Amino acid sequence: MRNILIVDDDQKIRTLLKTYLEKNQYSVTLAHNGASFFTEFNRSVDTLSLVILDVMLPDTDGFALCQAVRRRSNVPIIMLTASSDEADRVVGLELGADDYISKPHSPRELLARIKAIHRRTGMEAAAPPRYHRFGGFTIDTVERSVVDHAGTPVPLSGLDFQLLKYFIDHAGEILDRSVLCEATRGRDAGPFDRFLDVQISRLRLRFNDCGKQPWLIKTVRGAGYVFAASVISSHE
C-alpha cells in the first residue's frame, strides 16, 4: 500500500504535495480541515500507508487528529508545523507521531521522510516498478509515455496506454475479450462490439506488430489475446 492522506488548510501546499507525490507513484487523498480529514480517514483507514497532519487547522489541530488516529490505527504519522517551538515537536511525538517537519519544507525532503518511514515499516519494498522494457520500447508509468530504442515517442491515446499497461501487467497470460474490456472501459463487450478489436489493431500498428506472425500481441483462437513479448521491469 502506498496510499497517503494529507490534511492541510493551505490549498497551494496541498496541491503541490499531491502533484509531487503522485509523480513518485503514491496515491494521495487530500483534506482541508479536521471534518474532511475524518471523512476521508474513515473511508480509507484500512488502506492507508501514511498520514500527514498539519498542526494548525481552522476547526481543530493536528494534535487532536493524531490522538484520534492512534486510537484506531497504527498507520505512520508525519506532522507539519509552522512553529519552530521544540515543545510542539515533543507533544506531537508523545502523542504517537512518527516524524515531524517544520514549514516551510521542500516536497523532496518530505518524500525522503516518507520513504524512510516506509522502509522501517516494510512498505517501501512494495513500490511498483516505474519502467517496463520490451522489444526495444520503454514505457514510463509515471509520465504515461512510451519511447522506442532511439528515444522517439510512440503516440498513444489514453485508452491505448491503459490497454498496453494491462497487457504488460499480465504478460504471458491469455486474456479474454471480457477481461480486457472490463479493464479498459469498465464494462463487458457486447456481441457486436468491435471497439476492442480496433484498439488492439491500433496498438499493433503503433509497434509494427502487423502481419501473420505478430511478436507483441498474439491472438489465441477461441480464447483471447496474449502479450507475447518479454518484459523487463525496473524502478530506473
Tens of pLDDT, residue by residue over 198-207, are: 889 999 999 9
Rounded distance, CA 101 to CA 27, Å? 21
Rounded distance, CA 198 to CA 205, Å? 11
Whether the pTM exceeds 0.75: the reply is no
Tens of pLDDT, residue by residue over 115-133, are: 989 888 766 544 578 899 9
3-state SS string for the chain: CCEEEEECCCHHHHHHHHHHHHHCCCEEEEECCHHHHHHHHHHHHHHCCEEEEECECCCCEHHHHHHHHHHHCCCCEEEEECCCCHHHHHHHHHCCCCEEEECCCCHHHHHHHHHHHHHHHCCHHHCCCCEEEECCEEEECCCCEEECCCCCECCCCHHHHHHHHHHHHCCCCEECHHHHHHHHHCCCCCCCCCHHHHHHHHHHHHCCCCCCCCCCEEEECCCEEEECCCCEEECC
Confidence (pLDDT) at 29:
95
CB neighbourhood size of 173 (10 A): 12
Confidence (pLDDT) at 125:
44
Confidence check: pLDDT of 50 > 90: yes
Confidence (pLDDT) at 21:
92
Rounded distance, CA 112 to CA 21, Å? 11
Q: What is the mean pLDDT of residues 19-33?
A: 92
CA 104 to chain centroid, in Å, comes to 25
Higher pLDDT, 174 or 103: 174
Rounded distance, CA 63 to CA 162, Å? 41
Confidence check: pLDDT of 83 > 70: no
Rounded distance, CA 52 to CA 216, Å? 43
- How do strand 50-54 and strand 27-31 relate by DSSP bridges? unpaired
Confidence check: pLDDT of 221 > 80: yes
Cell 517544520 identifies what position? 102
Question: Dihedrals φ, ψ of 153, to 5°?
Answer: -65, 140
